[in-house]
């Protein structure tokens, strides 16, 4: 243990006295660094950067996997923008993102506020609420969802009690997307846990002082808790909306394998999958993928720009 | 008992108790809705096929085993255990790949001061936000040209090459939190980086490694799009694809066995979750904070 105390920062004079050793040491550190991260570098070049360049190239070609790619300029993009199914997929995806993300975050925040109170069995509740987040991606749950939302099953019968007779949601093009929204909201555990961690940072004294001053729970939440958790809220909004743009499995499994009926759940990636892997239109699919990248980058940029207006970082206070 | 303060004290503690009861009632009500699908699938797996959709009971009136015994027949000549073995193989390889490659990479980012570290770290974080779909097609073309489709290689290659930035990030955060004195002392004792990594940093990073391992296992087990794109012979299918095949071939007629297999497919995930939920939940929580 004494060793720890005796490890001083090397005096500045000594370093200049032995510049050669320092340079050699630095070179050795560089080498060690690059050796340790060589898996990541290989992965980045082979599976990320390389494919990105390739897909950018494919986006401007006609490519069916069997004959070499043929340069077509902006053809894929102009065809895409005029394609009614592509337009439909954009509409379906935007609807999904705009409805599912806020509802999911609202539920996550609500339950997090509930669990932030010190009560017995807190850990057990937290674990139980988190579980759907892990199993929700499974095909098994997709089947369960299909069963719950089909004609004459629990959802259908429950809504009949309230006098709504729309039948099961799975077969109804107007409703089937909302069964996917429900599946997404059901997996509110991950953002909930992040909210909970954020709520722990709220200073108790501040909260209690506000209570003494007669601030109600709503006011305390709005004026004290919300500013403190705003960075966490920002993180959750960013992550959940990016995820929502990329939904695939649930649309493929819950609605039928063609993302229907009547293209009602034709989310963007489902159409991309159909174009690329069913119709072997790799160029078109790549153009779709890049359009998605640009859309996600725009959403990210807008969110980052907006955070100046509503996200409070602690640095200002310190 | 006769003291004047007693009623005041009692009413305060009573109020606290009603508050607590109200809290538990509220939490349990939300929980009932949230866990309904999970309980439903357990109950449904013991119902006769015709009752699964139609009966409103959560639990079967007369439990039957037929759904589970029906699984023994397999799906169009392929035994269920084959799907499970394939998924297990995929998941185990993925775990090994992620733990080894991500911890090495994370060590470099957290503990070695090399030129270009910040730039590379930014690039790594950037890949977190990149939609996976832009890589999907060129990666498929790459593995097709290498004649590696219909094997597990395309599914696990990225795991061995630390492309799962989330786990690298998690481990970097964790390693940065370790006391600097420890690796400085090791350096003075003449340990090289490999030694420091193996005998000092790695054992102390265990919680982050376990978190990454469990997340990776569950993600691989649940993965649907990867196997859907890369695997084409039914003998090589994972559980997810086996389930899809089951639905496409048996359809509504054998609903019971399909639900039973869905339940069985969930068991590893739920078991892992029960055993390690502390790590998982804390891991998720740290990812949202600095």
Better-predicted residue by pLDDT, A314 or B276: B276
Contact, A188 vs A133, CB < 8 A?
yes
B184 to chain A, closest Cα gap in Å: 7
What's the whole-number average pLDDT of chain A? 88
Q: Global pTM? A: 0.89
Return the pLDDT at B61. Answer: 81
Return the pLDDT at A246. Answer: 93
CA angle in degrees (0–180, nearest 5) for A229-A232-A237: 120
DSSP track, B112-164: ---TTHHHHHHHHHHHHHS-THHHHHHHHHHHHHTT-TTSSHHHHHHHHTT--
Q: Which residues of B touch A147 (CB under 8 A)?
A: 40, 44, 52-53, 255, 259
Q: pLDDT at residue A8 above 50?
A: no
Closest CA to B167 of B129, B196, B197, B125: B125
| Stretch 11-70 of chain B: residues touching chain A, C-beta under 8 Å | 20, 23-24, 26-27, 30-31, 34-35, 37-38, 40-41, 44, 52-54, 56
The 10s digit of each residue's pLDDT in B170-207 is: 999 999 998 888 888 888 888 889 999 999 999 999 99
Distance CA B285, CA A123 (A): 14
| Stretch 213-242 of chain A: residues touching chain B, C-beta under 8 Å | 232, 235-236, 242
What is the percent of chain A with per-residue pLDDT over 90, rounded to a whole number? Answer: 64
Band (B9; pLDDT cuts 50, 70, 90): low
The 10s digit of each residue's pLDDT in A80-109 is: 999 999 999 999 999 999 999 999 999 999
What's the whole-number average pLDDT of chain B? 88
Distance CA A46, CA A41 (A): 8
Return the pLDDT at A71. Answer: 97
Distance CA A276, CA A268 (A): 12
Q: Which residues of B touch A157 (CB under 8 A)?
A: 56
Mean predicted confidence (pLDDT) in A161-170: 84
Distance CA B289, CA A230 (A): 11
Return the pLDDT at A150. Answer: 86
Return the pLDDT at B221. Answer: 96
Contact, B272 vs B256, CB < 8 A?
no
Q: Which residues of B touch A158 (CB under 8 A)?
A: none
ipTM of the shown complex: 0.89
Return the pLDDT at B70. Answer: 79
Q: pLDDT at residue B233 above 60?
A: yes
Distances in whole angstroms, Cα of residue B187 to Cα of each of A78, B53, B192, B235: 60, 65, 7, 51
């Amino acid at each position: 243990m004494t060793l720890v105390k005796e490890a001083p920062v090397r005096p500045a004079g000594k370093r200049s006295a032995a510049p050669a050793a320092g340079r050699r040491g630095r070179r050795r550190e560089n080498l060690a660094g690059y050796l340790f991260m060589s898996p990541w570098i290989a992965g980045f070049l082979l599976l990320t950067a390389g494919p990105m360049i390739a897909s950018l190239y494919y986006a401007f070609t006609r490519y069916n996997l069997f004959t070499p790619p043929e340069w077509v300029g902006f053809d894929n993009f102009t065809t895409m923008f005029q394609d009614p199914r592509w337009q439909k997929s954009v509409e379906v995806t935007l609807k999904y993102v705009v409805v599912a993300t806020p509802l999911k975050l609202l539920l996550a925040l609500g339950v997090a506020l509930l669990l932030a109170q010190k009560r017995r069995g807190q850990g057990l509740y937290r674990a139980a609420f988190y579980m759907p987040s892990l199993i929700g991606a499974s095909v098994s749950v997709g089947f369960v969802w299909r069963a719950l939302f089909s004609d004459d099953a629990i959802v259908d019968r429950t809504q009949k009690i309230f006098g709504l007779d729309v039948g099961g949601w799975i077969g109804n093009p107007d409703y089937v997307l909302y069964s996917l929204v429900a599946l997404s909201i059901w997996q509110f555990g991950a953002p909930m846990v992040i909210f909970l961690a954020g709520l722990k940072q709220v200073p108790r004294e501040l909260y209690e002082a506000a209570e003494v001053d007669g601030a109600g729970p709503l006011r305390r939440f709005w004026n004290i808790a919300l500013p403190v958790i705003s960075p966490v809220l920002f993180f959750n909004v960013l992550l959940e909306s990016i995820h929502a743009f990329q939904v695939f499995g649930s649309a493929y499994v819950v609605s039928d394998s063609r993302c229907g009926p009547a293209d009602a759940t034709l989310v963007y990636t489902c159409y991309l999958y159909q174009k690329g892997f069913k119709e072997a239109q790799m160029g078109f699919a790549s153009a779709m993928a890049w359009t998605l990248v640009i859309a996600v980058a725009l959403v990210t940029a807008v969110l980052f720009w907006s955070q100046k207006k509503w996200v409070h970082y602690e640095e200002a206070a310190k | 008992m006769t003291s004047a303060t007693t009623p005041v004290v009692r009413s305060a503690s009573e109020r606290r108790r009603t508050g607590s009861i109200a809290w538990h009632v509220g939490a349990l009500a939300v929980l009932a809705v949230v866990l309904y699908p999970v309980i439903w699938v357990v109950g449904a797996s013991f119902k006769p096929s015709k009752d699964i959709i139609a009966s409103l009971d959560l639990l079967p009136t007369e439990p039957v085993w037929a759904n589970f015994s029906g699984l023994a027949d397999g799906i169009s000549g392929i035994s269920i255990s084959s799907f499970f073995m394939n998924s297990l193989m995929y998941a185990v390889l993925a775990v090994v790949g992620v733990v080894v490659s991500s911890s090495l990479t994370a060590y470099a980012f957290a503990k070695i001061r090399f030129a270009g570290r910040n730039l590379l770290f930014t690039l790594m974080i950037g890949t977190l936000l990149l939609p996976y779909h832009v890589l999907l097609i060129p990666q498929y073309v790459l593995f097709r040209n290498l004649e590696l489709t219909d094997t597990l290689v395309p599914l696990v290659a990225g795991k061995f090459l630390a492309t799962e930035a989330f786990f690298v990030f998690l481990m970097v955060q964790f390693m940065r939190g370790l006391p600097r004195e420890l690796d400085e002392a090791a350096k003075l004792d003449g340990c090289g980086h490999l030694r420091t990594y193996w005998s000092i940093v790695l054992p102390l990073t265990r919680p982050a490694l376990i978190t990454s391992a469990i997340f990776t296992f569950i993600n691989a087990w649940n993965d649907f799009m990867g196997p859907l794109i890369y695997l084409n012979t039914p003998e090589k299918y994972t559980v997810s694809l086996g389930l899809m095949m089951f639905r496409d071939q048996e359809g509504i007629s054998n609903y019971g066995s399909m639900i039973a297999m869905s339940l069985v497919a969930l068991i590893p995930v739920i078991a892992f979750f029960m055993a390690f939920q502390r790590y998982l939940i804390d891991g998720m929580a740290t990812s949202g904070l600095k």
